[in-house]
């Protein structure tokens, strides 16, 4: 993932230098370095001789349908919801397209329930279920007027509807188990292991509900136009598209643990097990979980949905999905 070998000639030259001065590379490896303006220690070329590689601003692009918004990983493949009316399945290890399947009107969100893929169709108020193994359509279920990004809680799929309504569908058969009131302009939802959270882009808040029965547990103020949301195992991270920030809330009680400036128009959020990734325009930004410090910034215009496949980050763009 984002690894690069700095040219062979340079590496040989550095190895030769390290041989002439045997203590320099080891000394450089432990020497305290002054961080750069973004908080990341500067690259030390002497570490090349010690096989210490560095992150590179590189991406690989794979064509999907037009305007992919949602991105999800099914354990082996990446799925994108394409606003043109399709969903695309790509093999995660090499990006080969394994199928393109017709969806409803303006597909937007996509999530995986352990066996099947669920796609929200923002233009016709429905959610569709596809078998992940072969893309076969298994059902279509009516929800609210403008379904957005979804989340799976282990048994049910939760769908935002953009009109203060969060819908709970039983994954086994798509049965509606309830509609629950949330904030204004609900657009995305995440599960923290016990509760579901929605971002409410219309009023700058997030709502927390108990997953078992949909009981409201709190409403918490974040930044302007919150969009994407993700759970890191302890905290919720929210991309605030209206003011170029990311909010960190403690999941247990919603307490604000910080607001971090990333700039531009942040959109989606994903956690890779160590860091938080925020897609957007003009950059995808990688943040350190402990303190929100910027680890990397990668040029990737018009980034929307974002997902982690266990090794790489995938970001949806205008006509393609980028693998980092």
CATH number for 118: 2.130.10.10
DSSP β-ladder status, 265-271 and 107-112:
unpaired
CA distance 106 to 139: 17
Q: What's residue 6's pLDDT?
A: 30
Residue 103 and residue 145 share a domain: yes
Where in the sequence is the domain holding 8, given as residue range(s)? 3-55
Residue 82 and residue 30 share a domain: no
Residue 76 and residue 20 share a domain: no
Tell me, rounded to whole angstroms, the distance of Cα 152 from its chain centroid.
Answer: 15
For residue 230, the cross-strand partners are 237
Residue 121 and residue 24 share a domain: no
Q: What share of the chain is helix, strand, coil (3-state, %, to 5)?
A: 10, 50, 40
Q: How many domains does the chain have?
A: 2
Q: Say whether pLDDT at 248 is over 70.
A: yes
CA distance 279 to 166: 24
Q: Say whether pLDDT at 252 is over 80.
A: yes
Q: What's residue 61's pLDDT?
A: 87
The CA–CA distances, whole Å, from 284 to 75, 126, 278, 298 equal 23, 30, 6, 5
pLDDT tier, 244 (very low <50, low <70, confident <90, very high otherwise): very high
Residue 290 and residue 172 share a domain: yes
pLDDT tier, 322 (very low <50, low <70, confident <90, very high otherwise): confident
Interval 281-302: pLDDT, tens:
999 999 999 999 999 999 877 8
pTM, entire model: 0.82
DSSP state of 1: -
Residue 84 and residue 21 share a domain: no
Which residue has tokens 């995305």? 188
Q: Say whether pLDDT at 8 is over 90.
A: no
Q: Say whether pLDDT at 171 is over 80.
A: yes
First and final C-alpha spacing in the chain: 6
Q: Say whether pLDDT at 53 is over 60.
A: no
For 307, the 3-state DSSP assignment is strand
Q: What's residue 318's pLDDT?
A: 66
Residue 71 and residue 11 share a domain: no
Q: What's residue 59's pLDDT?
A: 62
CA distance 123 to 65: 17
Q: Say whether pLDDT at 277 is over 80.
A: yes
Residue 264 and residue 189 share a domain: yes
Residue 26 and residue 78 share a domain: no
Residue 136 CB neighbour total at 10 angstroms: 11
Residue 298 and residue 150 share a domain: yes
pLDDT tier, 190 (very low <50, low <70, confident <90, very high otherwise): very high
Interval 67-112: pLDDT, tens:
999 999 999 999 999 999 999 999 999 999 999 999 999 999 999 9
44: closest CA among 14, 16, 7? 14
The CA–CA distances, whole Å, from 135 to 77, 89, 295, 321, 322 equal 12, 8, 37, 19, 22
Residue 144 and residue 88 share a domain: yes
Residue 94 and residue 15 share a domain: no
Q: What's residue 317's pLDDT?
A: 84
Asked if 262 contacts 287 with a C-beta cutoff of 8 angstroms, the reply is yes
Asked if 108 contacts 70 with a C-beta cutoff of 8 angstroms, the reply is yes
Interval 146-166: pLDDT, tens:
999 999 999 999 999 999 999
The CA–CA distances, whole Å, from 45 to 14, 228, 244 equal 8, 37, 33
pLDDT higher at 122 or 32: 122
Interval 193-210: pLDDT, tens:
999 999 999 999 999 999
**Mean predicted confidence (pLDDT) in 9-24:** 34
């Amino acid at each position: 993932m984002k690894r690069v070998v700095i040219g062979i000639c340079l590496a040989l030259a550095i190895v030769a230098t390290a041989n002439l001065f045997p203590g320099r590379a080891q000394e450089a490896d432990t020497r305290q370095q002054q961080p750069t303006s973004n908080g990341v220690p500067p690259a030390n070329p002497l570490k090349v001789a010690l096989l210490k590689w560095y992150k590179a601003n590189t991406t690989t692009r794979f064509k999907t349908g037009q305007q992919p918004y949602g991105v999800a990983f099914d354990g082996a493949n990446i799925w994108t919801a394409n606003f043109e009316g399709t969903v695309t399945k790509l093999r995660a290890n090499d990006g080969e397209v394994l199928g393109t399947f017709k969806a409803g009107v303006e597909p937007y969100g996509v999530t995986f329930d352990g066996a099947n893929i669920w796609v929200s169709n923002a233009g016709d108020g429905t959610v569709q279920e596809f078998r992940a193994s072969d893309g076969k359509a298994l059902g279509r279920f009516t929800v609210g007027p403008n379904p957005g990004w979804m989340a799976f809680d282990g048994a049910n799929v939760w769908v935002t509807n953009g009109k203060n309504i969060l819908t709970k569908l039983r994954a086994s058969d798509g049965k509606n188990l309830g509609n629950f009131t949330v904030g204004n302009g609900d657009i995305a939802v995440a599960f923290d292991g016990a509760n579901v959270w929605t971002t409410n882009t219309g009023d700058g808040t997030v709502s927390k509900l108990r997953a078992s029965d949909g009981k409201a547990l709190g409403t918490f103020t974040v930044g302007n136009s919150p969009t994407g949301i993700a759970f890191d195992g302890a905290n919720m991270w929210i991309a605030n598209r209206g003011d170029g920030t990311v909010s960190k809330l403690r999941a247990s009680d919603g307490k604000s643990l910080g607001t971090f400036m990333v700039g531009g128009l942040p959109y989606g959020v994903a956690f890779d097990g160590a860091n938080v990734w925020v897609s957007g325009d003009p950059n995808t930004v990688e943040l350190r979980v402990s303190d929100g410090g910027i680890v990397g910034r990668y040029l990737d215009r018009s980034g929307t949905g974002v997902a982690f496949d266990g090794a790489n980050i995938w970001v949806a763009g205008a006509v393609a999905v980028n693998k980092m």
